[in-house]
Amino acid sequence: MQLSERTEWTLLATPLVAFLLLSLGFPAIVNLVYSVSEISFATLRSPVLSGFGNFAAVLQDPDFWRANWFSLRFGLLTALLECGLGLFLAVFLAPLFKNRSWPLAILMMPMMVAPALMGLMYRLVLHEFAGPVPYYLWQWFGDSPSFLGPNSAFWTLIAVETLQWTPFAFLLFHMAYHAIPEHLREAAAIDGAGAFQRFRMIELPLMVPTLAVALLIRFIDGFRVFDNVYVLTGSGAGGATASLSIYIYEAFFKQGTIGKAVAASVLLFLASFAVLYGLNALARRKRK
Amino acid sequence: MRTAFKMAMRLLGSVFVGGLMLGGAQADVTVLGWPGGPEETALRAVADVYNARPDVAAENKVKLLFFNRDGFWDKLQADLAAGSNAFDINLLATYSIGRYAPFMEPVTLSDGAGELFGPAVLSTMQFDGKQYGVPTDLSLHFMYYRKDLIDALMSDDAAKARYAEISEKHLGKALQPKNPDDWTWDDFAATALYFTKSVNPDSPTRYGTVLQLKNLLFNIMVWQSIPRSYGGDWKDAQGNITIDSDAFRKGLELYKLLYDAGATPRDSLSYEFAEANAAFASGQVAAMLQWNAAATDLTDPQKSPTVAEVTKTMAPPAGPEGRKTHIHGLGLGLNKNAPNKEGAKAFLSWLSTKEAALDYARNGGAPALAPKAVAEIADKRPDLVQLGEYAGAYGYVMNGGASANALAIYELQAKEFTGYWSGQQDIDTALANVKKGMTDLLK
């Protein structure tokens, strides 16, 4: 029996759709119900619908906007730094990796460490009395800066995140750089283009799609940061290092304001969906 | 192909049935304990003693379950709210008892428990007048100080003059150094300033103290003994929130003064228990207010070789209302959805006997026992004598400190007060924000 293309497509897609509905659909519906309900840990199974009060509470909460601002700055800065450094390393170290790949494994190591462990590691490394960094600073200069003080914690967290995830960006750029056909470089060299001109006029334009993808992935990862920040500084003095994920976690578990936490997560979902939809539409228009 | 399919289905079926059988094998008593510290060691020891008893049936043997301390209370909250039956007995603490009580059942203790623990300690495991747990460990605070440094200060006239000069400049009054047994909070502050290199370049230590200022509820528990000794409480007898009283202002300003003067490490705003201990153990700190749990490590020459021999402890300094120390208990209680309730009740009842409590203490636990009971182990655990003495004389629980929202209140205070200490907001804003939040949380 010959099945129509439509039937075949339906048959093949059904398991995936069913899986998505089960794994994402149910929690999403529960979230939506909780976001418009009066809810506590004692009434998880019997929420009382209460309108959009939770959304109003979130939108009027200055800590919500502060957490958004932290996540946005953190996501943008780390994405730019990781991609900038990753691109530089991929191009600068290209001759080293041309015929041998083992040094790649060493560069990839920070990525293998769980972010929470990375946070713990830096908690030790930066401790004034137990960490090697302050120890040597005291030995050499008779002083050591405050790494996790109110004015420096943000930049320390940026540095920790950048050191861990630059290898990811580097890996993408390394692959993209080595995928550029060699004859293009040779032709440009014959035409008299120098190394920097070849990079600017040939290699970089060919790597732009990879650059866009890397920036997007790193921004998303930075924006939703939780583990290493939470382990290193928690939500910070006065909530100074609370990312949006930490804000939602603390509203849910620490303050027990489940409706408010879920409403914040629904708003985050809607904002993410709008951004991704916009980017997709932009990409479609460009393809045409 | 068909044979392979049949084999795969059989395998899948076996795994499924096996899983069901494992899920149903709940014959023992599963205890969810506090992991990774002396409490775990002590609980393991008493569980072995209990399991070896001839009157404990095979199906009532105790099995212990531990996971990580990080986020422990949040995970437990989620488990209990979801109606988990993965454990029969779970940990609970004085400050979280109101949150967990709806998912637990009251317990009956052994006949001698009242005399063994005393009413104050038993009350740390009570909510709404019912006993929800067996008190296993009591936590309070000691003032840890370097006896060698204080002795040197007390015997040097030039140092005394410098001390008076420093206290006059920073605290507005010329103080004389005192024996730590006579310290008020001002004496503590003056000593901390004197032993700070940036204030007194001749100081033998880099810092006079180490404050735990991370935005964390436990750090507020450490700090709040200052306002309490000045008469502070969360609520007055009429139920009015009194967090904006002079007592709380005094406590907040004292910490701010020490932080701004550099008497505590600059990263103190990210410090909690472990970081503060590491700072003190390095030998670069003269005195510190810390949990009693640190005493074992800080006085052990193997673990703290620089300071173990010269570290002494006393109760926190005094305010106008005398010395005060926050107390809270850890204990074990009964999960409402326990699969083996009878077995669990039997274990909890035994755990509240003198035999179990003394075994627990001998193996590193910190139960607060009545003087008669603690005398039996005083040679092995002299710290428990001090623990019982301080708890009885200076222990307090804030009015509302065991309410359903106590944890949320501590969290709120931690956020707002660290905002003040770090200079992000003024003291009036911090206190007003806390008062507003507490009014909602203590309704």
User: How confident is the model at residue A165, as a pLDDT?
Assistant: 96
User: How confident is the model at residue B13, as a pLDDT?
Assistant: 46
The DSSP line for A46-73 is: S-EE-TTHHHHHHHT-HHHHHHHHHHHH
Please check whether residue B99 touches A, CB under 8 A.
yes
For residue B419, give the H/E element and its range: helix B406-421
Q: How many Å lie between the alpha carbon of A220 and the closest alpha carbon of chain B?
A: 25
**C-alpha–C-alpha distance, residues B84 and B67, integer Å:** 15
User: How confident is the model at residue B27, as a pLDDT?
Assistant: 59
For residue A121, give the H/E element and its range: helix A115-125
Chain B partners within 8 Å of A42 (Cβ): 81, 102-103
Closest CA to A244 of A88, A26, A67, A119: A67
Q: The tokens of B153 are what?
A: 């200060």
For chain B, which ranges sit under pLDDT 70? 1-27
Q: How many CA atoms lie within 13 Å of A86's alpha carbon, on the beta-carbon side?
A: 29
The conformational region for residue B104 under phi > 0 = left, psi -120 to 50 = alpha, else beta, is: beta
Q: The tokens of A10 are what?
A: 């339906």
Residues 57-76 of B with CB under 8 A from A: 70-71, 74
**C-alpha–C-alpha distance, residues B422 and A235, integer Å:** 13
CATH homologous superfamily of A74-255: MetI-like (1.10.3720.10)
For chain A, which ranges sit under pLDDT 50? none
* Secondary structure of A240-275 as H, E, C letters: CCCCHHHHHHHHHHHCCCHHHHHHHHHHHHHHHHHH
Instruction: Give pTM, 2 decimals.
Output: 0.85
Query: What secondary structure letter does DSSP report for B184?
Result: B
Residue A277: φ, ψ to 5°: -65, -45
* Secondary structure of B283-352 as H, E, C letters: CCEEEEEEEHHHHHHHCCCCCCCCCHHHEEEECCCEECCEECEECEEEEEEEECCCCCHHHHHHHHHHHC
Encode pLDDT of B52-69 as tens digits: 999 999 999 999 999 877
- What integer best gives the mean pLDDT of chain B? 90
What are the Cα distances from residue B172, in Å, to A241, B167, B168?
A: 35, 7, 5
User: How confident is the model at residue B22, as a pLDDT?
Assistant: 42
The number of angstroms, rounded, from the C-alpha of B379 to the middle of its chain's C-alpha atoms is: 24
User: How confident is the model at residue A1, as a pLDDT?
Assistant: 64
For residue A14, give the H/E element and its range: helix A5-20
User: How confident is the model at residue B393, as a pLDDT?
Assistant: 87
**C-alpha–C-alpha distance, residues B409 and B440, integer Å:** 10
User: How confident is the model at residue B8, as a pLDDT?
Assistant: 45
Contact B267 A127 (CB under 8 A): yes
User: Which residue on chain A is closest to B198 by alpha carbon?
Assistant: A143
Residues 274-303 of B with CB under 8 A from A: 275, 278-279, 281-282, 284
Chain A partners within 8 Å of B270 (Cβ): 123, 148-149, 153, 232-234
